[in-house]
Copies of this chain bind each other. A is one copy, B any other.
Amino acid sequence: MAKKLTPRKKDYSKWYNELVVAADLAENSQVRGCMTIKPHGYAIWEKMQRQLDDMFKATGHRNAYFPLFVPKSMFETEEKNAEGFAKECAVVTHYRLKKDPENASKLIVDPEAKLEEELIVRPTSEAIIWNTYKGWIQSYRDLPIKINQWANVVRWEMRTRLFLRTAEFLWQEGHTAHATREEAVEEAQQMNKIYADFAEHFMGIPVIQGVKTESERFAGAEETYCIEALMQDGKALQAGTSHFLGQNFAKAFEVKYTSSEGKQDYVWATSWGVSTRLMGALIMTHSDDNGLVLPPNLAPVQVVIVPIYKTQEQHEKVAAVALDLVEQLRKLNISVEFDNRDTQTPGWKFAQHEMQGVPVRIAIGPKDLEKGTVEVARRDTLAKTFMAQEEVVEKVPILMSEIQKNLFERARQFRDEHITEVNSFEEFKQVLKEKGGFISAHWDGTPQTEEKIKQLTKATIRCIPLEGEKEEGKCVFTGAPSAQRVLFAKAY
């Protein structure tokens, strides 16, 4: 734990890469673009999964599992979707290896085991799922279908970064089928709200809910709802999306239902997902130059107790106090660990727990025994205070709520300070260059203007916000009329 991170101000990107590894979250594997998610990183992902899963189930969704592979002909059925992902597809062409006739200890792909039809490793599962739903849906009685899947997907990205962009990643993908357009739109909106709720109340990440412009929409969607977060370096990060797919997939896969009046119609669809990318959002919202900062709701270990001692007698007495606190805090469902390793010094342990983002660290030493106190350090503010031993069980849960709240408020304040209204393209460029963050500007609604601004500034329209006042104005680039301001930013 001697290694210090590159400070954020010096090189934010380097800081991020170093932190992910130093905090034991993930590392690059020797498989191009694929990461290994280490136990500490995975434990945080599990906390996200559990919470999201509960939220999905509470709104009537059930989990299922669909195949990893999609036959090429099935994949290409919905053309826009297929075209959108074609350039990133890992393709299975053979199903067997055999001994290399020239080197018995090596294996070669058996040329005789070529598949008749290539299989695509799913980059997303609309095709395979709609092909399956076709067999499940005959009448309105079979609707709605509200299914979620936890899975790995593969998108062959050329430039990868741990959690943010990897060839393989973990995610959940919801896929629902409805009898009416209204119901499907409501579902897509509801899931986007659930994502926003999860990001803000559970992860402490303030987000803006909006819809994507046509050019930023999911391939095959009629409308893409999204939540957009702001990272500490002023770049935006898309943290979740929810798509209203219209009847596109139902038409491509011929999925019709008979209504209660006996009429036949195509089914209406949504899909929605968040991924391990959220880990990147988490890191870049809260962490500091000392390492990861975790909101208590996501911390696998919420409180760590480190004993400080010189003699064995001291050790025993300190341990007795510590174990008593462990027992009492666990009764309150607080995840607490007594770090009693004798292979590391207290200083080393402090640095490690700080790097890994444990929200509260309690140190107990010989002087604390005399005074009946413990030293409590908050990871979010780095503040240290002394607390009477008998107050710990009462105060720590309150401290947890405070930290959770503080992290969100701190991030919201930063985010709010980095939404800048601009009214000219000069101002646009200046703010983007000097301040970063979201730029709230009028736009004429055309893909052409969007594309030109992107080419000139690298900023894209992150979303057309759903909340707030709709103020009319003139496009910052063309001067043409605009119905409302949209949010531009450079993005991850």
A63 touches B46 (CB 8 A): yes
* Protomer copies: 2
State the Cβ distance, A317 to closest chain B Cβ, in Å.
27
State the Cβ distance, A266 to closest chain B Cβ, in Å.
20
B86 touches A107 (CB 8 A): yes
State the Cβ distance, A162 to closest chain B Cβ, in Å.
13
List chain B residues, Cβ under 8 A from A95: 88-91, 156
A97 touches B74 (CB 8 A): no
Q: Which of A27, A62, A86, A95 has the most CB of B within 10 A?
A: A95
| Residue-wise interface mask of A (47-68) relative to B, using a CB-CB cutoff of 8 A (1 in contact, 0 not) | 0000000000000001111111
State the Cβ distance, A356 to closest chain B Cβ, in Å.
13
Sampled A-B contacts (29; CB under 8 Å): A27-B135, A30-B74, A31-B67, A31-B71, A35-B67, A36-B67, A37-B64, A39-B62, A39-B63, A42-B62, A42-B63, A42-B65, A46-B63, A67-B168, A69-B90, A75-B107, A79-B105, A82-B107, A86-B99, A87-B97, A87-B98, A89-B95, A89-B97, A90-B94, A90-B95, A91-B92, A109-B118, A151-B152, A152-B152
Whether a CB of chain B sits under 8 angstroms from the CB of A119 is yes
List chain B residues, Cβ under 8 A from A43: 62-63
A31 touches B96 (CB 8 A): no
A106→B55 CA distance, assembly (Å): 39
Q: A29-B128, A69-B34 are in contact. Are A93 and B109 (CB under 8 A)?
A: yes
A95→B88 CA distance, assembly (Å): 6
Whether a CB of chain B sits under 8 angstroms from the CB of A4 is no
Whether a CB of chain B sits under 8 angstroms from the CB of A197 is no
List chain B residues, Cβ under 8 A from A93: 91-94, 109
Which A88-146 residues have C-beta < 8 A from chain B?
A: 88-99, 105-107, 109, 118-121, 128, 131-132, 135, 141
Whether a CB of chain B sits under 8 angstroms from the CB of A367 is no
A92→B88 CA distance, assembly (Å): 13
List chain B residues, Cβ under 8 A from A107: 72, 75-76, 82, 86
Determine which of B67, B89, B154 lies in contact with A96 in the assembled complex, contact meaning CB atoms within 8 Å: B89
State the Cβ distance, A184 to closest chain B Cβ, in Å.
19
Known: A34-B68, A72-B109. 4 other contacts (CB 8 A): A42-B64, A68-B152, A86-B98, A91-B95
Whether a CB of chain B sits under 8 angstroms from the CB of A334 is no
> In the complex, what residue of chain B is closest to A170 when comparing beta carbons?
B65
A138→B380 CA distance, assembly (Å): 33
State the Cβ distance, A175 to closest chain B Cβ, in Å.
12
> In the complex, what residue of chain B is closest to A153 when comparing beta carbons?
B68
A29 touches B62 (CB 8 A): no
Whether a CB of chain B sits under 8 angstroms from the CB of A407 is no
